[in-house]
A and B are shown apart, each in its own frame.
Chain A
Amino acid sequence: MKVGIVGVGWFGFQPEVVDYSFREMMFKAAQRAYQDAGGLDPRSDVDAFVSCQEDFWEGIAISDEFAPDPVGGAMKSVYTVTGDGLQCVGQAYMMIKSGLFDVVVVESHAKPSDIVTLNDVMFFATDPISVRPLSLENIHALAALEARAYMDKFNVSEEHLDAVVEKAHKAGSKNPRAVYASPGRSRPDTPVVADPLREADIAKFVDAAVVVVLASERVAKSFNDTPVWVAGAWWSTEISSLELHDWAFPLHAREAADGAYTQAKIADPAKEIGFAEVDNRYSFKELQHIEALRLAPRGMAGELLADGAFCPGGRLPVNLSGGALAEGVPFEVHGLARLSYAVAVMRGDIKAQVDRREAAVVHSWRGVPTTTSTVAVLRI
């Protein structure tokens, strides 16, 4: 039983969505997704809903209870996952594969502009015994520790990071929802925040909601003539203590990729994958994730990227959208942002500079201080 994506809708992708609460943003994204799925009626056509969210992002305890009605799911089977939206796609994939569900809706939303003390909220995710008493003024410092460990171990230079930033902003300037894309952005001209990270290495936050409709092969074409098939979805979390994770390489991303590739029967990703959308909420993360997804050998992504291999029109374009550096980070929506862009490219809705649209890989990481990645392989 194949699992297809038959509808995608998004709303927001603005630094501040002033007029709508997160529930209304969910509603707007859902309306669009259901239109994209041939006018699907969530009250009668959907078997289950899965929502990816986190209480502290919303300022509401037990926010699961707020999930059903904005997407048309009241009095229906609704599951909430405290994780990235791409993990919800994994849940929907399993539910449909089980044969018990034909149509499952996936949703995630984020309104970082509502959070007045975002650094404190993010820092709240660190270990209360071993890390919290240090009172970090900047949670990005944890990413900077990873950046130096990676760059030191694999001889990655600041020029490689310059190339990632330049590529992201150039690519993003063609993506209508990439509000932070600035083609003239020059990384060396931005101030050092936590070395080796400069301001331009760190993605900004963005308000957004994305809804995705998945359906079994049996019913998919009744909603959409051009479904994009989910060929594999896998995720992985390392040890909960940051101190015990690998500072130089995202093993969680490697594990997630290998799981998804096995499901999708992909033996040589660098040859079989046509393009990729990966997490680049920090510039060096794009290089790490390219390597973790086996699209380049370890330590080689920087050189290959600087040579143009991962640029639009290159051998294997990565982040044709510009990624999070251009679109911003919408918390747990991030994976669905990467997925929705890839789906639009595969369906031809977005005319991107890519030779091979038949197979794509999508990756998301939940950001510091997490060690969770999800990877999905898509085919048409």
Chain B
Amino acid sequence: MRRVKYFPEVMEIEAYVYTAGPVGTKWLESLRAGKLTAAYCPKCGRLFLPPKMYCPFDFEEVKELREIAPVGVVETYTVVERDFYGEPLKERRVLAFIKFPGVEGGLIHYVKTDKPRVGMKVKPKWRDERKGLVTDIEYFEEA
């Protein structure tokens, strides 16, 4: 007899289109072009990542992205050894939060290294075929 205590469902959320927005689109286009940029606030003069069309600090409208030097610093990192359900990963992965000099915020991304450390200088390893995604940077590596 089939048990009816539970019945499986699949949430219909597989297909969804996110709008990157005016500044987000420019940022993704710059990634596709192999360039790192940050949002520039004309009021406070701050550069920040990830970019949005409003400054999170003073609510000013942001229209401009400025190219930044593609050398970041690992502010914090973790070596991920197991998945959420406790199973060992096939390959340990280093996830880091990377800051860029003079830029508020930064990027969360993978770093390819056997010896991660706080303060380590890293640079992006760009993919040959880029699509306009943050993963156009395959990973960061020691600079």
Chain A interface (Cβ < 8 Å from any Cβ of B): 18-19, 56, 59, 116, 118-119, 122, 124, 127-131, 133-134, 136-142, 144-149, 152, 191-197, 199, 239-244, 247-248
Contact = CB atoms under 8 A, between A and B. Distances in A.
Contact of A127 (B13, B27, B50, B95): B50
A243 B107 contact: yes
Most buried by B among A118, A131, A197, A244: A244
Nearest to B96: A145
B78 A141 contact: yes
Interface residues of B, number: 43
Nearest to A138: B84
Given A243-B106, A244-B48, A149 B76 contact: yes
Contact of B108 (A193, A240, A243): A243
A146 B76 CA distance: 8
A247 B18 contact: no
B67 interface: no
B11 interface: yes
A136 to B, nearest CB: 7
A144 B97 contact: no
Contact of B78 (A19, A130, A195, A239): A195
B75 interface: yes
B78 A148 contact: yes
B28 interface: yes
A19 B5 CA distance: 8
B32 interface: no
Interface of B: 5, 8-9, 11, 13, 18, 20, 24, 27-28, 48-50, 52, 56, 75-86, 89, 93, 95-97, 104-110, 118, 133-135
Contact of B56 (A124, A152, A239): A239
Contacts of B5: 18-19
B105 A148 contact: no
Given A241-B52, A244-B56, A59 B95 contact: no
A239 B57 CA distance: 9
B134 A129 contact: yes
Contacts of B93: 137
A128 B134 CA distance: 10
A25 to B, nearest CB: 15
Given A195-B81, A243-B105, 16 more contacts: A56-B11, A133-B133, A134-B108, A141-B95, A144-B78, A144-B95, A149-B97, A152-B118, A192-B79, A194-B81, A240-B56, A241-B52, A243-B49, A244-B48, A244-B56, A247-B75
B78 A145 contact: yes
B45 to A, nearest CB: 16
B18 A129 contact: yes
6 contacts: A119-B85, A134-B108, A142-B108, A193-B80, A193-B86, A239-B56
B47 to A, nearest CB: 12
B10 to A, nearest CB: 9
Contacts of A137: 80, 83-84, 89, 93
Given A129-B24, A130-B107, A138-B84, A241 B56 contact: yes
